[in-house]
Amino acid sequence: MTAMSVPGDDASQPSRRRTRALLAKLAPLGFLFALVVAFSLLNPNFLDPDNLFNVMRQVSITGLIALGMTFVILTGGIDLSVGSILALAGITAAIVAKGGTAGSLSLDEGAQAGAPWYAALATALAVGALCGGAQGIAITRLKVPPFVATLGGLSAFRGLTLWVSGAAPISGFDPSVLWWGQGTIGPVPAPVILFLVAAVVCHVILSQTRYGRQIYAVGGNQEAAHLVGIANDRIVVSVYVIVGALAGLAGFILMGRLNTAEAIAGNGYELTVIAAVVIGGTSLFGGSGSVAGTMIGAVLIGVMVNGLVLMNVSSYIQQVIVGLMIVAAVAFDRFVASLRE
Amino acid sequence: MDANGYRLVAENLTKRYFGAVALVDVSLTIRAGGIHGLLGENGAGKSTLLKIISGVHRPDSGRVLWEGQPVEIWSPRAAGALGIAMIHQELNLVQDLSVAENVFIRREPTTRLGLIDWSALRRMTRELLDRAGIDLDPRALVRELSIAEQQMVEIARALSTNARLLIMDEPTSSLPERESNRLLELMTTLGKSGISILFVTHRMAEALAVCDRFTVLRDGRLAGVAARAEVSAERLISMMAGREANVLYKRSSKSHTIGAVRLAVEDIRTHPIRGRRGAQVRGVSLSVHAGEILGLAGLVGAGRSELARAIFGADRRVSGRILLDGEPVDIRTPRDAMRLGVVLAPEDRKRQSLFPNLGVRANFAMAALDRFSRFAWMQKGTEARELDRFRLALRIRMSGADQPARRLSGGNQQKVILARWLVRKPKVLIVDEPTRGVDVAAKSEVHTLLDQLAAEGVAVIVISSELPELMSIADRIVTLREGVVTGETPGPEATSEGLMTLMTLGA
């Protein structure tokens, strides 16, 4: 060592950085664990399997959409319209399942011979994908910022849902439709299985495929992505199609679970969904994040809400807490980013 | 003003950035009144000198006297308080406010109620503009003014704060001739009225037309000081270029043979791009042979990068044909170019190449995702093996394949970017400022690499602002000025002076 060497410059700093980065990554998981411990101590019913499945069933609906939202946010975008897409997809799927026009169905309680469940499911997926695609095109072709394009969608798709349904709920579905929300495989609720399968698929797409690489590229540096020959616009449109389709699937599941499709379904879901993604450590600036993080974020919110319910905390206060959690998560993300440089 | 009639005297300024010397022992004297030209190649130290005088940076040593008094210019605000104003290239105006509001922004006259006194504001602006000889309507919206007029608003703002030294860094570089003549006229008027102007320009003709005195920098050192009467364009150019450029790089082998024409472009024209200071390609034809290194030389705004981007399909062209191996090809997007084997490593690594948060491996593979995947699945093993091959060949230093790219040094980042393109085995490789922000050792490695590629038959186009670099590695150097080719020099015959002449005066 000569007098030129700077102490602590070379060896120690990268390792300290790595430790910090690891801590930042594990923070949401640690927080989730702490919540579970705290709630189980405060209320013995919390760890009851029925309650846990109930939590997971709730988580799976917003969680499915959050998986798609992860793709969107990774590209540096945002989708505020997912709740409205969920409702529109649910209503149109309901109409198909009941086999008739909206007006004649609205108050009909009896199961009525309509199209089979898979036609209704396909409708929900297609409507969701279409809505997402339309917004993707507005964003890429018309150069409308994602925030504005999907804020428009939030209002337009909700309005469309109300108009199509005449604002009246549609209920009374075939058991094959209900299974998607109420059924179980073994002891595990069907929506939970669906959510887990979708999560694995999304994880594999992001981490193992060319398409996944391109998503990170577009969000990481749009100009550089363009200059390595990536068709940015196509990637951007595709992520909105994916989140739309997943919102459609969530709408179908919700309809099965409640045995009702209503125009107000999914109202405000965008907040929970975005919160799950952000709490899971995906950067709102794009280019970094993961499906695993989103899973943790989604479960964390579910556990938090459930625990608060068990503790008889007002649902209004729950909203306050979810709101604060989003802000805290982003502040934390920024803080971690500031440690990097 | 001091006893000798100097407004500003800077003595023996030296500035280092992180060990690299940017300015060594440079002195500058600016008279009260008149226009002082500051000349030098890109990287000669002009910006550093300006930043010291305008309070952005502090010198490591040396001192500054302002109107005879030693001063410490701690900040741009302190410079402003003394009477030194920088007229920025990126204009600091609020586009949707009027001329008057911009001139007196944050210093608006108010009525007794604390509201803006509009009539006083307009009157004050009118008086100021009249005094300075600026023909503008105080009520006009800045958005609707030409760039030259916007600069005049900036000047008016500076004058309103009683600035006595205006620093103007290439104010005319993005202006059409008529506009720049208007601005130069105003500068001359101001100079005669006792305002001092420090004027940086690359346009030799206008420098000679308006400046009273010159300071020339080269490689961070003072290359010469002269009064207008003592100099000619040739004299200034030789001061900027140096008698004999010290050759830092030697080509490792001149043995490679130059083959047939690989890429030819004809009459390339591009759209002007906002924010890129008017750089525009106005009809360029050139060709590069297999196994040849073609150098592209030109000053900022000459259109070198824009030409490269147009060939690569990164920006739309107004016109132009591209021939590859004699066949006309249709390149509209980078994808088209890449498919044909034409690739570009762009100039701004951070903005245009790097995915800072992604790992080295992902960064490396990004331009060849098709080759590193099978049925949409990334073949991570292949990626890792190929990266390892390039890591050894280019001596890339990294802690692991998943180390975030932002953590690498500039030189290693550049090597990863080059590897990204080389793995595609291009026919034509265009590299824009391949050694900018790269340490000396990595620099010569990059040169060796380019040389090897040419020896393997790749047609290489190198864009560089460093003339010695081009002179040492290029077989042929094409000079551009304001979007047109002004000359072509065989590498061995090129001199800095000759190239500088073509870059500044050629037509």
Mean pLDDT by 10 residues, chain A (341 residues): 36 58 79 91 90 92 97 97 97 89 49 80 97 98 96 97 92 93 92 96 96 96 96 97 98 96 93 92 90 94 91 88 85 76 54
Looking at the predicted structure, is the pLDDT value of residue B480 above 80? yes
Q: Tell me the residues of B at the A interface, defined by beta carbons under 8 Å apart.
A: 312, 314, 333-335, 337-338, 344, 346, 351-358, 362, 365-367, 369-370, 372-373, 376-378, 399, 407, 420
Residue in A216, A223, A229 closest to B358 by CB: A216
**Beta strand extents in B75-183 (DSSP E only):** 84-87, 165-169
CB pair distance less than 8 Å for B338 and A214 = no
Task: Supply the pLDDT for residue A8.
Answer: 35
CB A157 within 8 A of CB A134: no
* pLDDT bracket for residue B507 (50, 70, 90): low
* pLDDT bracket for residue B249 (50, 70, 90): low
Q: Nearest residue of B to residue A219 by CA position? A: B355
pLDDT tens per residue across span B183-236: 999 999 999 999 999 999 877 888 999 999 999 998 889 999 999 999 888 888
Min Cα distance B295 → chain A (Å) is 22
List of chain B residues whose C-beta atoms are within 8 Å of the C-beta of residue A213 = 362, 365-366, 369, 378
Q: For the ranges A33-47, B78-92, B153-167, B268-282, which has the lowest average pLDDT?
A: B268-282
Q: Give bridge partners of residue B66 from the DSSP assignment.
A: B8, B69
Looking at the predicted structure, is the pLDDT value of residue B124 above 70? yes
A2 belongs to a structural domain: no
Q: Give bridge partners of residue B21 from the DSSP assignment.
A: B16
Of residues A13 and B430, more confidently modeled: B430
- Describe the crossing of helices A82-98 and A232-258 by its angle, rounded to 10 degrees: 60
Average pLDDT over residues B105-110: 88
Of residues B239 and B331, more confidently modeled: B331
* pLDDT bracket for residue B276 (50, 70, 90): very low
A255 belongs to a structural domain: yes
A88 belongs to a structural domain: yes
Q: Is A14 helix (H, G, I), strand (E, B) or coil?
A: helix
A21 belongs to a structural domain: no
- CA–CA dist A238, B10 (Å, integer): 59
A20 belongs to a structural domain: no
pLDDT tens per residue across span B387-421: 999 999 888 988 889 999 988 888 899 999 999 99
A183 belongs to a structural domain: yes
Q: Is B440 helix (H, G, I), strand (E, B) or coil?
A: helix
List of chain A residues whose C-beta atoms are within 8 Å of the C-beta of residue B312 = 227
Task: Supply the pLDDT for residue A5.
Answer: 35
- CA–CA dist B93, A192 (Å, integer): 56
Task: Supply the pLDDT for residue A112.
Answer: 55
Angstrom distances, CA of residue A45 to CA of A31, A38, A51, A302, A317: 20, 12, 7, 15, 21
Q: Give me the helices (H) in chain A, please.
A: 12-42, 49-74, 82-98, 102-105, 117-140, 146-165, 175-182, 190-208, 210-220, 222-227, 232-258, 269-279, 291-310, 315-340
CB B485 within 8 A of CB B492: no
Whose CA is closest to A295, among A47, A71, A66? Answer: A66
Q: Nearest residue of A to residue B331 by CA position? A: A229
Name, in order, each residue with C-beta under 8 angstroms of A19's C-beta and a sequence gap of 6 or more: none
Distance of CA A198 to the CA centre of its chain: 11
What's this model's pTM, rounded to 2 decimal places? Answer: 0.80
Q: Which domain holds residue A164?
A: 61-334
Task: Supply the pLDDT for residue B279.
Answer: 74
A22 belongs to a structural domain: no
Average pLDDT over residues B127-136: 90
In what helix (H) or strand (E) does residue B76 lie, and over which residues does it extend? Answer: helix B76-82
Number of domains in chain A: 1
A306 belongs to a structural domain: yes
In what helix (H) or strand (E) does residue B239 lie, and over which residues does it extend? Answer: helix B233-241
CA atoms within 13 A on the CB side of B329: 25
